[in-house]
Structure 1
Amino acid sequence: MFELEHLTIGYAKRQVITDLSLTIPEQTILAILGPSGSGKTTLLNAIAGLLPHSGGISLNGKPVTPKQATLALVPQDYGLLPWKRVRQNIELGAKLKGQKLDTKKVQQLCATLELTDILTRYPSQLSGGQKQ
């Protein structure tokens, strides 16, 4: 279960999200909808640990912090480095964190996501779905 409790997020003196509480049961798919500027990306960035906030964010009763939980955020522009091949982009997160890459796990993930045949391509050679 994923929970937000009294979450407040802002920039400088502007509150973007105030006192948001939400419980999302396991295996639930959730869409966040709203007009441009309503705080959708701000909320996701705070959950991913990229923005300071007040209030609680927890997963299965444990606080979500970058050191205690692994969360992934796929931004609108996908954040792919155009000069690196697909495999290099996949490996980049672990390298930046100084973590040892589990090659077998990466291979299994690529097979599950049907990426094996495109690992040597550059982002400019991918479809939108493949980039995502």
Structure 2
Amino acid sequence: MTVELRLDRTTTMAQLLHIRSHQLTADVTEAEGGNDAGPSPHDLYDAALGACKALTVMWYARKKGIPVDDIHTLVERDDSGERQGVYRLATRLKIHGTLSDAQLQELHAVAQKCPVHKLMSTVTTEITTQVERLS
């Protein structure tokens, strides 16, 4: 899969992200020189974790017949140590449904195993970058 980004020419720096048939805007705040036309790359990174946890829990609950009616997910960022190599994300899933304590614990375990959580914490990501002239 390829994600394509192009400059949004109506803004200073914002990027239009094209993912399959979806379009999103990413930008930085005005204090960082942007127009705050969309979430920042850090916001999208954090949101990917929250979305993955919620979707994984919902998928699992439906597969196992666990009565989950709603999930409200919060992701709190502490980037104060990022330059020293530590980026902290605290997630909280508020799950609504007629759940036993055992089912809630089961869903907690599932949330800990979402693919993005694993990607962020246990996988080595290798990145290559090429810079070319645009003609």
Larger Rg: 2
Looking at secondary structure, tell me which structure has more helix per residue.
2
Higher relative contact order (CA 8 A, sep 6+): 1
Same fold judged by TM-score > 0.5? no
TM-score (structure 1 length as normaliser): 0.24
